[in-house]
Structure 1
Amino acid sequence: MTNTQLKYAKLFPVMLCFFAMGFVDLVGIASNYVKEDLGLSDSEANIFPSLVFFWFLIFSVPTGMLMNRIGRKKTVLLSLVVTFLSLVLPMFGDSYGLMLCAFSLLGIGNALMQTSLNPLLSNIISGDRLASTLTFGQFVKAIASFLAPYLAMWGALQTIPTFGLGWRVLFPIYMIVAIFAILLLSATPITEEQPDKASSFADCLKLLGKPFILLSFLGIMCHVGIDVGTNTTAPKILMERIGMTLTEAGFATSLYFIFRTLGCFSGAFILRVVSSKAFFLISVICMVLAMIGLFAFDSRTIIYICIALIGFGNSNVFSIVFSQALLAMPNKKNEVSGLMIMGLFGGTVFPLFMGIASDAIGQNGAVAVMAAGVIYLLFYTLKIKH
């Protein structure tokens, strides 16, 4: 086997792990089904996505320290085992407590995976091809994201054998994929370089004293808040305004992820000829137009267009903000990386406020919370240097 063939043989199990990373996005459609099954309010149902992303605040930096102790591959394997356990629990029921436990484990597993999988990939692909391979990994991740609503819908409609699980059939399907990922990655030899010096919470938090790092951290929070918020709220908007059933409205979540995926791929090419600042502005303007449309119109077509605009506009925000933060402090990459991953905690903050706002004034309240995040990103555009 040639070196190139060997490299791609190692790449397949890692890409399967990227697919498993996308399991976290099932929380959006799943929280809507749990809300319907248990008769929850929006604020009660939005605890699920909030809980998933809460664990990024707790586990991102300790995961970096764990990688230095046991290695990246073992850390990814640990994340897959935790993810596997999170997918087993919903097969025993959908009680409120059980689902809270399942989504907590899903969040912990994903926090471990997000922090360790990208560095693991750098042990296989390096140099100029790393960025494009990471982009492909995000594409693979997005496949799992937009398949989740369809799997839940098929299960709810009983168009496939569900063994009494209904919409929860998506959990055993993804569980099987997680098992394959564990087995394949375990059997794949990957040589890792010597670990970096571990960062502590104190090292990371000190960087918030740097104005641009603080602005970037808040930018990551807004990006993830808008991402999780759209994932969770898009079906609710269609149900409230058009009168769709949850099964019909679930397409909105897939539409969002389809356009987010298209945005990732097109962004990889556009950023070769357009500056980060200019493309970031274009992306944010897409989201501004979407927010205006969601406030002003009740047409199904326009709502779909707005969801697609958010998906495209929000697709490259993370990569641009992340890279800008690293460029701002190239001698503190480890600490900056850990802090930016902690910013995924925005996926906890936004759904909580969106749930409270939508309970008070309907889904326009949830849109208003997302709009605040978009306005902040518009302000952040002014701080990007190139």
Structure 2
Amino acid sequence: METTAKNNGRIVAIVVMFFIYAMISFVTNLAAPIGTIWGYQFEGNSVLGMMGNMMNFAAYLFMGIPAGNLLVKIGYKKTALWALAVGIVGLFVQFLSSSVGTDTVVTTFNSTNADGVAHSFPITLNFFIYLLGAFICGFCVCMLNTVVCPMLNLLGGGGNKGNQLLQFGGALNSFSGTMTPFFVGMLIGVLTDKTQIGDVNPLLFIGIGIFAVAFVILSFVAIPEPNTTSGKKVKYSHSPWNFRHTVLGVIGIFFYVGIEVGIPGTLNFYLADQTANGAGVVGQASTIAGAIVAIYWLFMLVGRTLSGFISGAVSSRTQLIAVSCTAIVLIILAIFIPKESTLPVPEFLYEGGAEVPVSAFLLILCGLCTSIMWGGIFNLAVEGLGKYTAQASGIFMMMVVGGGIMPLVQNAIANSIGYMASYWLVVAMLAYLLFYGLVGSKNVNTDIPVDEEIDPRNL
């Protein structure tokens, strides 16, 4: 009877973690498609358009380690509840940006785009309010990620089984990520001078509602608290930084999130851009771009689902090596194929006979590859950490800032020398992940004790 109750509690905890995992993607994936609105207002400057994405991920840099410490001090459930409350605030602030400060010019931004022409843009107060909202939402998703990843790994028992739960949770994360840019694209249609941030308010209201409902549900659900079961302070004689495979994995996560966000984010700008630097898509370019990018996230859903089924038998290391190699090949092909080589957009995505470059289809195929990387890297990097896992999770979340920094660097390159040339940066980051799978993921610090050790001063 006790075993049955324990198993039921474990299942409920897994379901809750899956739901939270999906919500993380919903909030995160709002930034890039909404950024196309700002980018259009700033005459196609994708760097300014990606600033919301940058602020979202910059929050990880400040909140990652504190979030890990929160897991140790107040537990998984309370950390998640605080995260949901913060998310409601962040989405509401983004909503305010549609009506507050729209006519107040704060500064101007000067740049030279790929066409060689100098541009100057007035930046209004509501843009900074939007960035603040994105930054607050970044705190939310950082805290939620810090809870979900180690908890699913723990509930799965670590190893291949832990990775299996991470991949199934990631599949739901990808489903949510698939729908977000698709809905934003439908709300925007084609970018014009009349397109405003307020056009996506319905999605912000949906997000606020989801967070509020999740807060109520989570309040009544029991979540395992591995760090607070003894009621006594555990002694930590080392730290996650003492494990080589963890340190290299932290670097890998920094690059990985830059890859995951940079591929579809830059592609969205490329397809929606109506200047000579863009793909030259005829028709409702933003709708088409949103639909194409949504397929990238759909492929991530497919990849994570498949990985979930095979991860019990195929190691994280083997999967990481295979997908890194495949993604490198796909992106190099996309870079060299000219944009004049096009394929029709499937009718179920857009009924208008539009065509997009073949490169776009190769890039969205990378979703199958990037799909398993997060779970695989996290699983490999925390293997054998024992009591240091919660602290390591916080460090990992801090380095998710790569999802803001690297796409920003990529779009700076895109503005200077072209969108497709910017993908060489992605190739370089994938090469590092290949190295991590081949060499860097091995635990060479097995002599460090990782079992719980109670501090004698608390006996």
TM-score, scaled relative to structure 2: 0.73
Matched, 1:52 2:83: no
Alignment of 1:75-224 (within 5 A): 75-94=79-98, 95-119=126-150, 125=155, 127=157, 131-157=163-189, 165-190=198-223, 192-195=225-228, 203-204=239-240, 206-207=241-242, 211-224=244-257
- Corresponding residue for 2:113? none
Matched, 1:294 2:334: yes
- Corresponding residue for 2:281? 243
> What is the one-letter code of the residue matched to 2:147?
S
Please give the alpha-carbon distance, in whole angstroms, between the structure 2 residues aligned to 1:193 and 1:305. 44
CA 1:86–1:203 in structure 2 vs 1: closer, same or farther (change >3 Å)?
same
Equivalent of 2:263, from 206, 230, 244?
A: 230
- Corresponding residue for 2:304? 264
CA 1:183–1:300 in structure 2 vs 1: closer, same or farther (change >3 Å)?
farther
> What is the one-letter code of the residue matched to 1:303?
S
Question: 1:167: how far off?
Answer: 3.0
> How many residues of Structure 1 are paired with residues of Structure 2 in the alignment?
378
Judge conservation of contact 1:276–1:320 (CA < 8 Å) in 2: yes
SS of aligned partner of 1:151: helix
> What is the one-letter code of the residue matched to 1:322?
F
Equivalent of 1:363, from 413, 419, 432?
A: 419
Question: 1:277: how far off?
Answer: 3.7
Question: 1:8: how far off?
Answer: 4.7
Question: 1:357: how far off?
Answer: 0.6
Matched, 1:61 2:65: yes
Question: 1:100: how far off?
Answer: 0.4
TM-score, scaled relative to structure 1: 0.86
- Corresponding residue for 2:436? 380
Judge conservation of contact 2:189–2:286 (CA < 8 Å) in 1: no
Equivalent of 2:408, from 334, 348, 352?
A: 352
CA 1:365–1:262 in structure 2 vs 1: closer, same or farther (change >3 Å)?
same
> What is the one-letter code of the residue matched to 2:266?
T
Query: Which structure shows the bigger proportion of residues in strand conformation?
Result: 2
> What is the one-letter code of the residue matched to 1:25?
N
Identity fraction in percent: 21
CA 1:194–1:335 in structure 2 vs 1: closer, same or farther (change >3 Å)?
closer
Alignment of 1:321-336 (within 5 A): 321-327=377-383, 332-336=388-392
- Corresponding residue for 1:342? 398
Please give the alpha-carbon distance, in whole angstroms, between the structure 1 residues aligned to 2:381 and 2:22. 27
SS of aligned partner of 1:250: helix
CA 1:179–1:61 in structure 2 vs 1: closer, same or farther (change >3 Å)?
same
Question: 1:164: how far off?
Answer: 9.6
Please give the alpha-carbon distance, in whole angstroms, between the structure 1 residues aligned to 2:16 and 2:315. 34
SS of aligned partner of 1:324: helix
- Which stretch shows the higher mean deviation, 143-152 or 125-134? 125-134
SS of aligned partner of 1:182: helix
Q: Deviations over 1:280-321 (max 9, x none)?
A: 222012211221122112234432431233111111122222
Query: Which structure shows the bigger proportion of residues in helix conformation?
Result: 1
Please give the alpha-carbon distance, in whole angstroms, between the structure 2 residues aligned to 1:118 and 1:6. 18
Matched, 1:281 2:321: yes
> What is the one-letter code of the residue matched to 1:257?
W
> What is the one-letter code of the residue matched to 2:21?
F
CA 1:242–1:35 in structure 2 vs 1: closer, same or farther (change >3 Å)?
same
SS of aligned partner of 1:242: coil
Please give the alpha-carbon distance, in whole angstroms, between the structure 1 residues aligned to 2:249 and 2:73. 29
CA 1:236–1:382 in structure 2 vs 1: closer, same or farther (change >3 Å)?
same
Question: 1:350: how far off?
Answer: 0.4
Q: Point out the structure with max Rg over C-alpha.
A: 2
Question: 1:136: how far off?
Answer: 2.6
Q: Deviations over 1:44-99 (max 9, x none)?
A: 22222122111212211211222232221111011111111111123233431121
Question: 1:243: how far off?
Answer: 2.3
CA 1:355–1:122 in structure 2 vs 1: closer, same or farther (change >3 Å)?
closer
